[in-house]
Amino acid sequence: MHWKPYYDRAKQHDVRGIARCITLIENEAEGSADLLRALPAGGTVPVIGITGPPGAGKSTLTDKLIGHYVEAGKRVAVLCVDPSSPFHLGALLGDRIRMSDWYTHPQVYIRSLASRGALGGLHPHTLEIADFLGSLAFDVVIIETVGVGQSEIEIAGLADITVVVLVPEAGDEIQTMKAGLMEIADVFVVNKADRPDALTFIHHLESLAHASGKNLPVIRTVATEKQGIGELAAAIGQQQQQQQIPARKKILLTEKAWRLITEARMKDLSKADMADAIGLQMNRNDFNLYRFIDQYNH
């Protein structure tokens, strides 16, 4: 099946053309590699990653951020990376009820992707799909992650701007995650900032951000009430201006290239086949894990 007619339709804002191209990329179908190679160079559409622990209100925040951009006349593409069913690898939260107002809006395109068991909580082809959407006439691309485990770290290798969403009760998480968070965050959001002890938590987070030397913005929001959404959009815009610095752009592109090359080199490996091979050998007295993996390193 040739990809070009679908890509031509996608560039004309045809929803079915966009969906078909994403499906080709998602499933590594014939022609998907040629489609990616045909993407124009020098894309300037900002990719915003929104991540954080479960219950922080990421979906509600994303919903209100979409509304802010739509009111400003912008076209928005959203990738929602959901947990996968262990049985059929489909997205468990695909309906995305909180964003239902936007599914048929002419300025918005939303696609749910299953993480498909990826360790980092991101779909294996999130990067490629985001780059594809960035090649179309969207003004901004938003990636909302599962928000579990390594996804907070992984999103930094995909997005131009990483927004980390926390809630006032996340004090213990800050202590255990602060090094990684300070490394990957471009903007902090303290959502549900009307809760008790929110101010204390915000001051603590601001102190950590200042101590990191990055002086990261800390935005207070109450997403359900649309409070702080304009300030968040402004902070994202300011950080986007800084992303034009060549050194930062080089780091991001290197991270993307490294990820894609690693995935390509792992492509011929099957974890299921490896499990079978280990199962056959593990009960032998002379089984050694490091000798076992030697066969995969040649």
Residue 136 lies in a domain: yes
Residue 268 lies in a domain: no
Is 116 found in the same domain as 16? Answer: no
Is 33 found in the same domain as 59? Answer: no
| 175 burial via Cβ count (<10 Å: 0-12, 13-18, 19+) | exposed
Is 137 found in the same domain as 15? Answer: no
Query: What total number of domains does the chain contain?
Result: 2
What is the predicted pLDDT for the residue at 42?
Answer: 62
Q: How far apart are CA 142 and CA 135, in angstroms?
A: 14
Residue-number span of the structural domain to which 7 is assigned: 1-38
Is 30 found in the same domain as 49? Answer: no
Q: Where are the alpha helices (DSSP H) in the chain?
A: 4-11, 15-26, 32-37, 58-71, 126-134, 151-154, 171-184, 198-211, 229-242, 246-266, 271-281, 289-294
Is 161 found in the same domain as 30? Answer: no
Is 187 found in the same domain as 92? Answer: yes
Is 206 found in the same domain as 112? Answer: yes
Residue 269 lies in a domain: no
Do 110 and 100 contact (CB within 8 A), yes or no? Answer: no
Residue 88 amino acid letter: H
CA distances from 169 to 165, 172, 194, 210, 231 (A): 12, 8, 12, 21, 22
What is the predicted pLDDT for the residue at 178?
Answer: 54
- pLDDT of the chain, 298 residues: tens digit per residue: 588 999 999 999 899 999 999 999 988 898 999 999 998 876 668 889 998 887 888 889 999 999 999 999 999 999 988 654 433 344 444 435 556 778 889 999 999 887 554 444 566 788 889 889 988 989 999 998 866 544 456 677 778 888 989 988 766 556 555 556 667 788 999 999 998 888 988 888 888 777 777 778 999 999 999 999 999 999 999 988 876 666 666 777 787 788 788 878 888 888 888 999 999 998 888 888 888 998 888 6
Is 126 found in the same domain as 60? Answer: yes
Residue 186 lies in a domain: yes
Is 172 found in the same domain as 29? Answer: no
Angle at 155 between CA 150 and CA 158, to 5 degrees: 140
Q: How far apart are CA 96 and CA 80, in angstroms?
A: 8
What is the predicted pLDDT for the residue at 112?
Answer: 86
CATH number assigned to the domain comprising residue 103: 3.40.50.300
3-state secondary structure 22-67: HHHHHCCCCCHHHHHHCCCCCCCCCEEEEECCCCCCHHHHHHHHHH
Residue 145 lies in a domain: yes
**Strand partners for 84:** 91
Do 70 and 107 contact (CB within 8 A), yes or no? Answer: yes
Residue 270 lies in a domain: no
What is the predicted pLDDT for the residue at 254?
Answer: 83
Residue 272 lies in a domain: no
Is 169 found in the same domain as 106? Answer: yes
* Paired tokens of 177: 């995650």
Is 23 found in the same domain as 48? Answer: no
